[in-house]
Structure 1
Amino acid sequence: MLENYFLNPGFVYVPQEPSVVSAVVGSAVCVCIYDRKRACGGMCHFQYPLITDKGKTTPCYGNVAIYCFLRMLFSQGSKKKHLEAQIFGGAWNREHANRDIGRENINQAKKDLMKYSILLASEDVGGEKGRKLVFHTRSNEIAVLKVDNLRSDDWYPYEKTR
């Protein structure tokens, strides 16, 4: 039976066994990376693009999250040449924010993937809608639902644990 895991912002998840990973993003970004040879993958979820103070590193920042994510994959035996990434999120609603942090998050994800020579296979980014993601780490299948409102009780079986 597959484990279901809800990935909160500021976390990286690389399971040992096949799992279904879910997340909800607005201006935040999720990056899914899949190892084609090993048939496994994971996800990181970050809210801000870049931290420059190395004393305060946390995966809430894209540059830290992607670096940690790749280190975790490499420690499990993944090779760069077998990895492919997908990026989701980065919405911007002008009514709720003056700064387009979503676009900054998208750009940081792309910059870091290019820096580490990771293939960007697809993306569903930008716009004004939030997204709900469901990623199967063994098959690399991802379902994306775009929504106007992100509600805390939208997820089963997570609704009682959020």
Structure 2
Amino acid sequence: MDRYYLYPGSIFASRKPHIVDTILGSCVAVALWDPVLEFGSINHYMLPYWNGEGTPSNKYGDIAIPAIINKMLAMGSHKSNLKAKVFGGCETGTPNGVFHIGERNIELAIEVLKKEQIPVLSHNVGGYRGRKVLFYSESGKVMIKYIKQSFPDQQIDPKG
């Protein structure tokens, strides 16, 4: 089986079986799988929303999720057959950070998939540890390995 490394801001879609691997921190990956046609796609986005400036890019979830849905449909899937899995979205940086990029990335994925009526079969999201994700595009199977803790035993001053 061919292997493919999925870089941040990228999408992967193929009818040919692949093992797709990626590393996620606050980024989120949405994997779609068609159990009837037995193939899948996956994205790796860094931020939830494109701000409308410059060129739309798959580094934004509101661009990347519709992009993999459209790829699946263009390759013969019926939307009613699609199943989703969602991964990543840990909080990085300081534990009391104000941006909560990981949390916002997760919320966007769930919101878009719900709106598109694509069921989320499983998810492994949030927390303070990054993940290495292996996606088997033919079976939809996903394996996850946690990577280093983002906040190694830090004490947080409650006064800020």
TM range (shorter): 0.7 to 0.9
Shift of 1:135: 0.8
Structure-2-length-normalised TM-score: 0.88
Structure 1 equivalent of residue 133 of structure 2:
133
Q: Following TM superposition, by how much is the alpha carbon of 1:55 offset from its aligned partner in structure 2, in angstroms?
A: 5.1
State the alpha-carbon separation in 2 of the partners of residues 20 and 61 from structure 1.
23
| Fraction of identical pairs, as percent | 30
Deviations 1:97-120 (A, max 9, x none): 542100000001111111111111
Distance in 2, matches of 1:123 and 1:75, equals 25
Which amino acid in 2 is paired with 1:112?
Answer: V
Report deviation, 1:149.
5.8
Alignment-derived partner of residue 27 in structure 1:
26
Runs (4+) of structure 1 moved beyond 6 Å?
none
Query: How far apart are the structure 2 equivalents of 1:43 and 1:10?
Result: 11
2:142 maps to 1:145: no
Alignment of 1:38-49 (within 5 A): 38-49=37-48
Amino acid at match of 2:135: F
How far did residue 56 of structure 1 move? 2.5
Quote the RMSD (CA, aligned, Å). 1.6
Structure 2: segments with no counterpart, 5+ residues: 151-160
Structure 2 counterpart of 1:62? 61
Work out the number of aligned pairs and report it. 149
User: Which sections of structure 1, spanning at least 5 residues, go unmatched?
Assistant: 151-162
Paired amino acid for 1:10: G
What is the alpha-carbon distance in structure 2 between the residues aligned to residue 16 and residue 33 of structure 1?
A: 12
State the distance in 2 between where 1:83 and 1:54 align.
31
Matched position secondary structure for 1:148: strand
SS of the residue aligned with 1:14? strand
